[in-house]
Structure 1
Amino acid sequence: MKESWHARRIGEAEEFWQEAFLDPASTFQTVKSTEISGEERRRLEVDVAIEERIALVLNGVKVADLPCLPSQLEELAVGHLVCEGFLEGIEDLVSVRVEDGEIFCEGRGGLKRKEARPAASEMRISPEAIYRALDEVHEGALIWRRTGGTHSALFLREDGRSRYFCEDVSRSSAVDKAVGSALMARADLSRSALITTGRLSSAIVSKAAMSRVPVLVSRAAPLMAGIDLAERLGMTLAAFARRPNLYIYTGEERIL
């Protein structure tokens, strides 16, 4: 088994990196690299996450070129169309197919994008449930732990259970895929929290709002525009979530 410098850095057992866990054809590629450590140099084989740009076509019109891992493309399409306001929900999607590096979707209605609406959910979640979900993000982020090149997202239900974990090279596409996975399973996102590893920009806050998610949490930083938008929409926004600390910027009443 080839050496993994990422594995050494996080102190995991070498057996963790057995090829059965990941599909290198769609997630990463092994390349040669030179490591400089003080006065020493050595050649290594390291794994690098794959990024492709996938065209998303809705009702015959290209609406996006999405940077992403070339996997879970149907979930990416569903999540992006809802998160960006092209569709109200998955019930508006008639069909989706992937063909030759493009995703073709048919939906009800036109291409006019909808605006995010205020969150009306009365869900409550505990800090401990959030910390456990972040632990699951760390444990499940196999591609990140192998390449250091991805973001992750998952949904945390009000009962403390987490579902629909996704990784991607783009924080936006990771959120889109998680949303798409949840919607395709007919999950009620109005009673869920979205846990992510990316910065909480206005774009990410808007995606959560469009998919009716009332609580958005990241282990990374918020941006001022994201805080302002969450405040206007009545969402709960928390960041720098790392046990035992959690910083809540808006909607504190939803955190127990």
Structure 2
Amino acid sequence: MPYDLGSTVRLLAECQGPDDTLTTAGTATVTVTLPDESTATPVAAEATPDSGRYQADYVTAQPGRHTVRWVFTSPADAYTDSFDVRPLAPPTILSLADAKKHLKLPATRTDRDDEIRGWTESITRGIEGMCGPVIVRTVQERHTVRRASTVCLLHVPALELVGVSSIPDGAAAYPVQDLDLDPDTGVVQRLDGGTLTGLLLFTYKAGRPIVTANITAAARIILQHLWRTTQGPSRPQPGTGDFDVSEPMVGFGYAIPNRAVQLLEPDRLPPGVG
């Protein structure tokens, strides 16, 4: 499971000799390659003396995929692994407390918290794939514009246009106060009726300041559905139950049951939008 940004990851490895037995190495080095390709070398030591099992503690500083490389000498051995770090504030429709309450798990039970958080993040991404951004975030996207009267942003609802800058110099290309943004369609146009042109970087906020009850209810249904798959058969079967999936949805397989799809219908994006 992904680690939270700023948490400590305990890295583990074993040094094996040519006969595959655990052996104390002459030297042990561990290198962590961060998402930006910089590296860190936390101190590695045997977990217990003469065990051949090594550990190192690394404090996470960047979100994303990290690669871990262990190298041992005397005997020569190596081991490669990886781990993921969550963003500072990963978007989730349901909080951990809400999710546990819906699953009827006591707040004091924490052994499956990481699993549930993984589900809530996945559910949010699935719903946003159908309905566009739900959690408000800042988006940046490039558009090549050749004297067009409008530009259509890709993620809606688009709440606020923060800036429009030219590429590659980054200078302000059009003052945002001179532009109009339609939140529902993402269409940007000049208030004076003129045209937009150039390779432009649009920075804007997208999402829903208020998450409506139908979206929250759909997230709970999907959570319950996915939770059930961990308690029984791996694939839900069609039938007449509350969590039926009549047919797999493109891009989502059997993850979203019919009840959730119906609740999300008022917010579904047209094909090719979002």
Shorter-chain TM range is: under 0.3
* TM score, norm. by length of structure 2: 0.22
Higher helix share: 1
Instruction: Pick 1 or 2: higher relative contact order, CA cutoff 8 A, min separation 6.
Output: 1
* TM score, norm. by length of structure 1: 0.23
Which structure has the bigger radius of gyration? Answer: 2
